[in-house]
Amino acid sequence: MAHSIVPPYLLARLAETDAEGLQRAALAARRSLAADPPLRAERQREGVFVPSSVVLDAAEPGMASFTGLAGVTEPQRTISDAEGRERLPGTVVRRETDGPVDDVAVNEAYDGLGATHALLLEAFGRASIDGLGLPLDATVHYGEDYDNAFWDGERMVFGDGDGEVFGRFTASLSVIGHELAHGVTQYTAGLVYEGQSGALNESFSDVIGALVEQHRLGQTAGEAGWLIGEGLFTAAVEGRALRSMIEPGTAYDDDVLGRDPQPADMAGYIETADDNGGVHLNSGIPNRAFALAARAVGGFAWEGVGAVWYDAMTGPLDERSDFAAFAEATLVASDARFGAGSEVSSAIAEAWRTVGVRSDERAD
């Protein structure tokens, strides 16, 4: 199962529209829903996929190990062009150290991969998504008016959008960081992509997507907008982004797409069989917990609450962990990193209480 940035319920709304001027978008949405993003080598429950060029060592979970790929810690990027077809990888158009080309999508993908690599290495000491210097590959111009971007277990894949509702998917740095973060989860906790564990999988990707953008811009938690997919919608859409981490349920409110359905706390938790048990819906709850805690602590989010979330995801986390289990993991990780009773631990505990995941009065 490939992980896509645009949830199926949003594409379904677009596919059903007969609104004037959106015929191309409706057709593109139908094609995007019908397309089966190819599964290349995603982590399955039996174990973790490892490309043949990489040999895992005995490094502690979450710790950078530079024995893979001859100790490479610099990014190793390759961008390919699918030329409007649904075949991967496409034709290589830019490699590491190559200068910019005339194709803006190629350059955006290249820069976005580099920005994600920089956050992982500089903030968390992680060499690429696997911690071992895994080369970062991406394909642009996938499909015809393809309204999505996805991580297929081996590479990033970007559509160009339909031009009426969605623009090109390389234009959003948070989207690139989000999708590559599915690779980090793949190589660490391997959270099962359904129900609450799947929502945590989605939420961690939103966290990394937001942090990549903030790290690149040098933004503090207070300065950040906490939007995922900002800039994807065209001017025809009444909306700011696909999701808001700080205010779930407010990212868009559009006549065609409907209103952002994400709940902001457990009181609004959505029980559904769709969307793999609501992975793109209920992810708003842990998203808000993260953003609230980061704002309460202040400063650069990747140095405080972001580091805790990374420690929790790369620690001894069960692949079917629910929200409560992950919340406890973040509190344990925060105490270990910053000390029991620290400002960070207190902010995290309060954030989980605010969204209704924890009700205890933890001794801080």
Q: Does the annotation mark 179 as catalytic?
A: yes
Q: Indicate which residue of 42, 108, 164, 179 is catalytic.
A: 179
* C-beta atoms surrounding 341 within 10 Å: 10
Q: Say how many C-beta atoms besides its own lie within 10 A of residue 85's C-beta.
A: 12
- What is the C-alpha separation between 46 and 274, in angstroms, rounded? 25
* Contact in structure between 41 and 100 (CB atoms under 8 Å): no
Q: From residue 207, how far is each of 73, 255, 268, 310 by CA, in Å?
A: 23, 29, 21, 10
Please tell me which residue in 141, 178, 215, 280 is annotated as part of the active site: 280
Segment 343-348 long-range contacts (CB within 8 Å, at least 24 positions apart):
343/297, 344/293, 344/297, 344/304, 344/305, 344/308, 347/292, 347/293, 347/296, 347/297, 347/305, 348/289, 348/293, 348/305, 348/308
Where does residue 19 rank: exposed (0-12), middle (13-18), buried (19+ CB within 10 A)? middle
Active site residues: 179, 280
